[in-house]
């Protein structure tokens, strides 16, 4: 079972809340996904108005909030935002996203490490979004990150696990959960991440902008379970040479 | 719902029977997979001895037999084998596999077309195994094949959908079901095939040689359902440019 | 040195003549490419008017013509076209292209085999364009093809060697030259084909529609030579594990 | 022409000096490669003994030395090593490699930035080896790096440009030369890097461990020139749909 910072999760699918057509649709999709950990941009969460803002649609017993710092550009902004969020949302969990470049939204490894160190000291449970960089992930782990969230491919690209060579090293070396974030554009990508041993995946765009976000969420739920089960069942290695499934005999000529 | 030659199938996962550790294990895995169409090499089926041969382990109401001609090298051998099989197994369904080369077991397009024509005339329901060759598939369809079974990658390689450029064309053009056969080495590959619109997949080696074939079969079942559901839910197209899931705003500085 | 039907070639780059901006530009690019074998659609060759048609731009001592049957849809049309071409162009070499589908222009394996058999009997030197199908290639070789021309990816796609799993088998098994045709969109693709042991490549679109077709032709010439030289020099195998180029020692702490 | 820190280079191929069978073989290969910038591990360079150590084999007018810090694990070690190297080798150019993990030798982004800042202040021309991380590359550029050297795939893997999604972003954003380092296992990979607009590549293992390192070095030289020329000639974009090279007409039926 997935365990982050001492908390156990049945579901290995983390979900995002951006880009849905409406809050009710988002809510229905999140329920269909089976997710127990949902990330929400701090600026979208308006805690004072729980009655009809996004938070009211997330108010389910099995759903835990994971506020994210999307939009901040350096460690100082991230720490400030995280503290505001903790007070407002009454959780010390934080998905740390620091991306100085507004175009590609790729994470800054230096600022992310700095903010992680500071937030951990301050009692936060920190889940940093980071490049699929094994050394950066190891340093974040050493700084006290509760999990690492390396990207599969550029955010929003839906290109799947382009960083697989590095994800495999990260998974091999990590002592904290590895959650593949960004680039997962189809259930097959999510299954793939689980098959190579990732502990969880985070999906947002691929569900939110699907033709039918609710059934797509259910599809991702199955894919994650399938991939995890395959990992645990022991996938046969890839072989360079062809091996027949069926007995190879010219049976008519014996 | 998948329909082949007028017969409806709930499951879109076809399974093979080779390489399992034992018949009981095979039976358990096939049940876990949910498959309703199981291929068995004609020479392994010994119809006279239904008591303890492979057939007794396949004797479930929801499981249909799909005898295959694995081992034959040309159309004449295939037709002869198919006729023997029809008498013995009491089914006119046949998975046509003609592979003159014993090393890579790749299908022969010319002999496969010839045998298909002859077997269709003779009343068979023919499902030919074929290269991911759109023209060959179209000709087989015109010759009366009930489905086409293009390969994803070399048989037994577990390399997934290496032929995807051509599978997409086949799926676009085909008026009979397209069943991706060979090369599917992980649930993510099966999901991928379904996501691009394949009607079904056939899996054998990846289940049979898994650490735990039974739970792996269940994983494939979920993956196929997931991929199909994703296809029906409308996958968002891949985008070259990164698009953020979360609102991109320097929210601290407003 | 490349040898086809007893004729030796210094260059391993075959070139096409379609899509250029003008005949003089085409001529200049072909000279820059170093090619000695140039394919031209039979219908574009107007032998009666050698003065200013395409043929006059190809009239160089080192350039051999390889008429192609582009546009035909079956064996009968191909054989008829080839015979007309032989008379008109005074060469018995023919690049056999049979593609019934006008959209994707993929080759028909059955008709291609039939036409090859007939044309070989009729004294032609036949170079058939064919799917990257090892069995089809082997049968064409057995039918007397002087070389086989499997495709790398759909024609005009520029996707490179998508069929590499099968090209490697074809190269391993073939006793006639293997010329990768279609899909080569960049010099790196051409180099790649040569590195895996292809005997030659045919390039058309990628040169003809380049910003500067002449310098692009020269780039392809170098790439083909580079790839061939790498093949002959012995490429090191890919390794799954990382191996450092530099000595791995914490040299400051000794 | 490639220009780094105000110095112009005719060749865009940087070479390494590890893993060769002998120094004379290394020397011959470097000359065949046409390289003008050669990296050498500081600990292998023994400046006091120029008579028969590695340096005497590199003593060619057109070859510039680029000492590297391979083996150091943090910024402090790197800075110390670089200073020793500058005195000993009489060059202020330094290839900065900081890799705390002895297994995969992947670069540490935080220490690399720190060391770059310090070395630039100290008058060095710094070329840092770094993950294909666009944000890290941009920060190194801002810190005064003379070029950035992102990796194509894990060092020594020979897997080519697995990081291509990110390399393209780096190339798009960088104001200093981008030199693809690590993972280039074949001339086609080098050509590929140049085709997408990299300014140069560094190759070591693929040359040094080839069957014939000297002819392989020449092959890489051609590949780099070819890829650069293709980039400058204007590669046609990849197209999803097939487009025929030859005129598509059923020419026999007109």
Catalytic residue among C7, C8, C19, C95: C95
Segment B133-140 mean pLDDT: 97
Question: For residue D181, which phi and psi values (nearest 5 degrees)?
Answer: -125, 140
pLDDT over 50 at B254, yes or no? no
Q: Could you read off the pLDDT of D67-99 as tens digits, one per residue? A: 999 999 999 999 999 999 898 888 999 999 999
Tell me the chain D residues in contact with residue A104 when contact means C-beta distances shorter than 8 Å.
134, 169
Cβ–Cβ below 8 Å for A101 and D135: yes
Chain B residue nearest residue A209, CA to CA: B236
pLDDT over 80 at B45, yes or no? no
Neighbours of A252 (CB within 10 A): 17
Nearest residue to C126 via CA among C144, C111, C138, C106:
C144
Chain B residue nearest residue C160, CA to CA: B165
Tell me the chain A residues in contact with residue D159 when contact means C-beta distances shorter than 8 Å.
165
Cβ–Cβ below 8 Å for A158 and B239: yes
Q: Could you read off the pLDDT of D113-150 as tens digits, one per residue? A: 999 999 999 999 999 999 999 999 999 999 999 999 99
Catalytic residue among B7, B19, B95, B138: B95
Q: Work out the minimum CA distance from A212 to partner chain B, whole angstroms.
A: 5
pLDDT higher for D137 or A237? D137
Chain A residue nearest residue D157, CA to CA: A165
pLDDT over 50 at A238, yes or no? no
Q: How many CB pairs under 8 A join B and C?
A: 80
Tell me the chain C residues in contact with residue B109 when contact means C-beta distances shorter than 8 Å.
109-110, 133, 135-136
Distance linking the first and last C-alpha atoms of chain D: 53
Chain B residue nearest residue A103, CA to CA: B242
Question: How many Cα atoms sit within 13 Å of B136 on the Cβ side?
Answer: 31
pLDDT for the residue A126: 98
pLDDT for the residue C254: 37
What subunits touch chain D, counting only 3 or more CB pairs under 8 A? A, C
Residue D156 assigned to a binding site: yes
Nearest residue to A160 via CA among A108, A218, A223, A100:
A223
Question: How many Cα atoms sit within 13 Å of D213 on the Cβ side?
Answer: 24
pLDDT for the residue C2: 96
Mutate to test the interface with D, among C216, C244, C250 (most CBs of D within 10 A): C244
Chain D residue nearest residue C20, CA to CA: D245
Query: In sequence order, what are the beta bridge partners of C13?
Result: C201
The Cα–Cα gap between B214 and B231 comes to 26
C67 and C89 Cβ atoms separated by less than 8 Å: yes
| Residue in B41, B206, B251 closest to A71 by CB | B251
The Cα–Cα gap between D6 and D14 comes to 17
Query: Using CA of residue C160, residue C163, residue C168, residue C171, what is the dihedral sign?
Result: negative
Q: Work out the minimum CA distance from B145 to partner chain A, whole angstroms.
A: 22
Neighbours of B56 (CB within 10 A): 12
Least confident of A4-13, A47-56, B154-163: A47-56
Distances (CA, A) of B153 to B200, C110, C133: 16, 22, 11
Q: Could you read off the pLDDT of A65-98 as tens digits, one per residue? A: 999 999 999 999 999 999 998 988 889 999 999 9
Least confident of A139-148, C188-197, D245-254: D245-254
Query: In sequence order, what are the beta bridge partners of C179?
Result: C200
Distances (CA, A) of B159 to A236, D47, D250: 11, 50, 38
Write out the E strands in chain C. Answer: 2-4, 7-9, 13-16, 37-41, 64-68, 93-96, 125-130, 149-150, 179-181, 200-203
What subunits touch chain B, counting only 3 or more CB pairs under 8 A? A, C
pLDDT for the residue C237: 67
- Write the CB contacts of B240 (distance below 8 Å, at least 6 apart in sequence): A157
Residues of A carrying an active site annotation: 95
Q: Work out the minimum CA distance from A144 to partner chain B, whole angstroms.
A: 25
Q: Which residues of C are known binding-site members for 1-deoxy-D-xylulose 5-phosphate?
A: 156, 182-183, 204-205
Chain D positions contacting chain A at CB under 8 Å are: 99-101, 104, 106-110, 113, 131, 133-136, 138-139, 153-154, 157, 159, 162-166, 169, 173
Cβ–Cβ below 8 Å for B101 and C163: no
Neighbours of B62 (CB within 10 A): 12
What subunits touch chain C, counting only 3 or more CB pairs under 8 A? B, D
Q: Work out the minimum CA distance from D155 to partner chain C, whole angstroms.
A: 5
Q: How many CB pairs under 8 A join A and D?
A: 80
Classify residue D57 by its DSSP letter: G
Tell me the chain D residues in contact with residue C227 when contact means C-beta distances shorter than 8 Å.
187-188, 219, 223
What subunits touch chain A, counting only 3 or more CB pairs under 8 A? B, D
Nearest residue to C203 via CA among C219, C192, C190:
C190
Catalytic residue among D7, D8, D19, D95: D95
pLDDT level of residue B49 (50, 70, 90 thresholds): low
The Cα–Cα gap between B24 and C97 comes to 51
Q: Could you read off the pLDDT of B53-63 as tens digits, one per residue? A: 899 999 999 99
The Cα–Cα gap between B63 and B164 comes to 29
Classify residue A127 by its DSSP letter: E
Cβ–Cβ below 8 Å for D110 and A109: yes
Cβ–Cβ below 8 Å for D208 and C245: yes
- Write the CB contacts of A172 (distance below 8 Å, at least 6 apart in sequence): none
Tell me the chain D residues in contact with residue C235 when contact means C-beta distances shorter than 8 Å.
185-186, 206, 210-211, 216
The Cα–Cα gap between A82 and A144 comes to 16
Cβ–Cβ below 8 Å for C157 and D241: yes
Nearest residue to A35 via CA among A68, A5, A66:
A66
Query: In sequence order, what are the beta bridge partners of B196?
Result: none
Tell me the chain C residues in contact with residue B99 when contact means C-beta distances shorter than 8 Å.
135
User: Is C95 marked active-site?
Assistant: yes
Write out the E strands in C139-196. Answer: 149-150, 179-181
Question: For residue B77, which phi and psi values (nearest 5 degrees)?
Answer: -60, -40
Distances (CA, A) of B190 to B2, B158, B199: 16, 11, 11
Tokens of B156: 């037994």
pLDDT for the residue D156: 81
Mutate to test the interface with A, among B43, B214, B226 (most CBs of A within 10 A): B226
Assign A37 to helix, strand or coil: strand
Cβ–Cβ below 8 Å for A135 and D169: no
For chain A, list the domains and their CATH numbers. Answer: 7-253 (3.20.20.70)
pLDDT over 90 at D251, yes or no? no
pLDDT over 60 at A252, yes or no? no
pLDDT over 50 at B216, yes or no? yes
pLDDT for the residue B238: 47
Tokens of A241: 């040479």
Classify residue C196 by its DSSP letter: T
D183 and D161 Cβ atoms separated by less than 8 Å: yes
Cβ–Cβ below 8 Å for B71 and A189: no
Mean predicted lDDT score pLDDT of chain B: 90
Residues of chain A with pLDDT > 70: what percent? 89
Mean pLDDT by 10 residues, chain C (254 residues): 96 96 96 97 66 85 94 95 90 95 92 98 97 97 98 90 95 97 95 97 96 97 98 74 43 41
Locus of tokens 């492979």: B54
The Cα–Cα gap between B186 and A191 comes to 9
Query: Using CA of residue C135, residue C140, residue C143, residue C147, what is the dihedral sign?
Result: negative
The Cα–Cα gap between A145 and A175 comes to 10
């Amino acid at each position: 079972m997935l365990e982050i910072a001492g908390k156990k999760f049945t579901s290995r699918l983390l979900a995002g809340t951006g880009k849905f057509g409406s809050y009710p649709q988002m809510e229905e999709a999140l329920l269909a996904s089976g997710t127990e950990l949902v990330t929400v941009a701090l600026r979208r969460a308006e805690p004072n108005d729980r009655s009809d803002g996004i938070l009211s649609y997330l108010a389910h017993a099995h759903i835990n909030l994971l506020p994210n710092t999307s939009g901040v550009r350096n460690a100082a902004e991230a720490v400030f935002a995280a503290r505001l969020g903790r007070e407002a949302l009454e959780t010390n969990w934080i998905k740390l996203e620091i991306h100085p470049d507004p175009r590609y939204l790729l994470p800054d490894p230096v600022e992310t490490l700095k903010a992680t160190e500071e937030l951990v000291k301050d009692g936060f449970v920190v889940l940093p979004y980071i490049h699929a960089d094994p050394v950066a992930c190891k340093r974040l782990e050493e700084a006290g990150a509760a999990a690492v969230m390396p990207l599969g491919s550029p955010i929003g690209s839906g290109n799947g696990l382009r960083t697989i060579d590095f994800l495999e090293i990260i998974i091999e070396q990590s002592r904290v959960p590895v959650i593949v974030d960004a680039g997962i554009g189809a259930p097959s990508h999510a299954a793939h991440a689980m098959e190579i041993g990732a502990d969880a995946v985070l999906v947002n765009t691929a569900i939110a902008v699907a033709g039918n976000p609710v059934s797509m969420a259910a599809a991702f739920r199955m894919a994650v379970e399938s991939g995890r089960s395959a990992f645990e069942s022991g996938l046969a290695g890839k072989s360079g040479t062809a091996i027949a499934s069926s007995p190879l005999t010219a049976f008519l000529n014996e």
